[in-house]
Structure 1
Amino acid sequence: MFIYVNGSIIKKEEAVISPFDHGYLYGMGLFETFRVYNGHPFLLDDHLARLNEGLKVLNIVKRFTRGEVKDALKLLLDANGFSNAYIRFNVSAGIGEVGLQVEPYEEPNVLIFAKTLPEAGEMAEKKAVLLRLKRNTPEGLTRLKSHHYMNNMLAKRELGSAPDVEGIFLTAEGHIAEGIVSNIFWAKGNTIYTPSLATGILNGITRQFIIHASKRLGMDVEEGLFQAEDVIAAEEIFVTNSIQEIVPISVFEGQTMPGKNGLFVQKLHQVYRQSCKKL
C-alpha cells in the first residue's frame, strides 16, 4: 500500500517522520476522515473548513484548498488503484525543540492514508451501550479532531472489539454526549434530537449534514442537554460518522429499537445516498 507524505507517494513501509515532530511529542496535530465515492471525496469542503479552523487554533501555518487536496488524493488513489476508499488526512505540527513551543509551526507534516472500501450499500445496524468512562472535556474552547485520542482509546477498551456495538459517552454531569467514533441522534414525533456542542462533543461533518437534511425533510431539530432517559424514550436512534454514514441502533441499553426499519432513518439514508451520487 502507498501513502502520501509531504507531496510524495511512497510505500507505507518507507514512511518516516522525525521523533522531534510535535505531533508525536505533544499531540499537536489534526486529522480528518472521509469517504471517497467513485473517486470523489464527499463533503470535502466541509472537512477542509473544519481542518483549516483547527490549524489556526494550533498555530500551524498551513491552509488547504480544495484543488490541492483533490490533486493529492488523485495521486494516492491512482497509486493504490482505489476508487471507493476511506481517507485519513493527517497534519502534524512538524519539527520543534523539546519543550512547549509558543512560536507558529511553519513546516507541518502532511500524511494521507487510504484504505479500500466496498461500494456503499444498505445500512448496517448496531447496538449501543452507555460507557462507564466519562467524556473528557475539550483541550481548548471547542473540541478539535486532534491527536488527543486517549479518552476514545480507553472507551474502546472498555467496550471491547465487537464490531456491531457502539459505546455512548456521558459527560461528567451525566448528559448524553457522543459515541466513541460517532455523533448520536434520536427521533420522537416530528422532532430529531442531538446533544448540544455545549457538551464538548465534536461537531461532526456528518452531524452537520444530518441536521440540515432533517430540516429539509420537515423535521424540527433540537440540540440540547439530555439524559439517558430521553434517549430511551425515543422512537428511533441512530449514530453517524463520515465512514459508516448513518448507523441505525437496534438496541439501546437492552431496549429494542426499530433499527434500520425506522421510517425516519430510511428517509435520511435515501437523502444521504442521493447526495453521495451528486457530489
Structure 2
Amino acid sequence: MIQEDEGYFFGLGAFETVAVENGIPVLLEKHYARLYQAAAFLGLSLCKEQLEEEVGKALEKPEIQTGRNVMKITVSQKNLMVTTRENTYQTADYERGFTAAYAKTRRNETSPFTYHKTFNYGDCILEKRKAKEAGIQEPVFLNTKGEIAEGATTNIFFVQKGKLLAPPLGCGMLPGILRQYLYETYEIQEQILLPEMVETFDEMFVTNSLLGIMPVRQLEDFVFPGMEVGRKLLKEYCKEFFFA
C-alpha cells in the first residue's frame, strides 16, 4: 500500500525500468547506480539491503523466468516498490522501425530534474500519448534553444557516413543506461544537432533499456535512407546479453 509522502504529493521520487530477459536482469548494477544518484539528488534514504531483497523477490516470480519482461523499481520518502510486467516490444517493431516527430513541449536543459529519472515525468507521458494518437512511436524533444535533446522515453543517435552522432548531455536529457552502454562500446561523436541538419544524416536510432536499440525510419516528413547500422548495433547488443 502506497504511503503518502513527498513522492506522492510532489513527485519527489525516483524509478528505474529494467529489462529482464529469460529471468536475467540486464545491466542491473548500472540501474542501481543511477537510482542511488537520483535518490541522493532528491534527499531520499535508500536502504541497499531492502532494495536488493525486494528485487530478489521480484526476480523469483515464475512468470518472468522466460521471455522478455520488465522490472520496475520505484522509491520515495516512505515507499519502495518493485513490480514486473511483460515487455511488449515485438520483432515487427524493429523490422519496421519507429516513426518520430517533434514534440510541442520543449525540454528544459536548465532543470536538474531533466538529468534524473524521477516521478516528474508528466511531459514525457503526455507527449507520448499525443504521439500515439497520431500514429507516432516516439516524440522528440527540442530544448529551449531549439537543439535536439532526447525522445520522450529514449536517447537519440544519428549516423552520418558511418559515424555515430549524439547530442551532448548538456542539451538536456536523461543519461540512459543504453546510452552509457553505447558510449562504453563504440566511438560516439558528440555535437549540437539541429532539426535542419537531419536531412544530412543517413540513419537515426533511439535507445532505452526496454527496447534496446530501435531503428527510426522517419522523423517528421524525412525518411532516412537506411537502418542498417542501427540493426547491426541491435544485433551485437542482443548477442552480448543472450536475448532469445
After the TM superposition, which of the residue ranges 114-123 and 185-194 deviates more from structure 2? 114-123
Structure 2: how far apart are the matches of 1:165 and 1:120?
13
Instruction: Report the equivalent of 1:72.
Output: 57
Gaps of 5+ in 1: 1-15, 95-108, 216-220
Structure 2: how far apart are the matches of 1:231 and 1:64?
43
2:211 aligned partner, one-letter code: Q
Aligned pairs for 1:209-224 (under 5 A) are 209-215=181-187, 221-224=188-191
Instruction: Report the equivalent of 1:168.
Output: 140
Structure 1: how far apart are the matches of 2:146 and 2:136?
25
- Of 11, 21, 24 in structure 2, the residue corresponding to residue 37 of structure 1 is 21
Q: Contact 2:215 / 2:231 at 8 angstroms: preserved in 1?
A: no
Aligned pairs for 1:64-143 (under 5 A) are 64=48, 68=53, 70-75=55-60, 77-78=61-62, 80=63, 82-83=65-66, 84-94=68-78, 109-117=79-87, 121=91, 123-124=94-95, 125-137=97-109, 139-140=111-112, 143=115
Is the aligned partner of 1:228 residue 2:198?
Answer: no
Once the two structures are TM-superposed, the CA of residue 119 in structure 1 deviates from its matched residue by 9.2
Q: Contact 1:35 / 1:87 at 8 angstroms: preserved in 2?
A: yes
Once the two structures are TM-superposed, the CA of residue 150 in structure 1 deviates from its matched residue by 1.8
Once the two structures are TM-superposed, the CA of residue 164 in structure 1 deviates from its matched residue by 4.9
Structure 1: how far apart are the matches of 2:135 and 2:84?
20
- The structure richer in helix per residue is 2
Gaps of 5+ in 2: none
Considering only CA atoms, is the larger Rg found in Structure 1 or Structure 2?
Answer: 1
TM-score by length of 2: 0.88
Q: Percent identity?
A: 29
Once the two structures are TM-superposed, the CA of residue 172 in structure 1 deviates from its matched residue by 0.9
Structure 1's 277 and 119: CA in aligned 2 closer, same or farther, altered over 3 A?
A: farther
1:88-115, Cα deviation, whole Å (9 max, x unpaired) = 1111112xxxxxxxxxxxxxx1111211
Structure 1's 93 and 258: CA in aligned 2 closer, same or farther, altered over 3 A?
A: farther
Instruction: Report the equivalent of 2:216.
Output: 249
Once the two structures are TM-superposed, the CA of residue 263 in structure 1 deviates from its matched residue by 2.5
TM-score by length of 1: 0.77
Structure 1: how far apart are the matches of 2:99 and 2:225?
11
After the TM superposition, which of the residue ranges 181-190 and 138-147 deviates more from structure 2? 138-147
Would you say how many aligned residue pairs link Structure 1 and Structure 2? 239
Once the two structures are TM-superposed, the CA of residue 81 in structure 1 deviates from its matched residue by 5.6
Once the two structures are TM-superposed, the CA of residue 183 in structure 1 deviates from its matched residue by 0.7
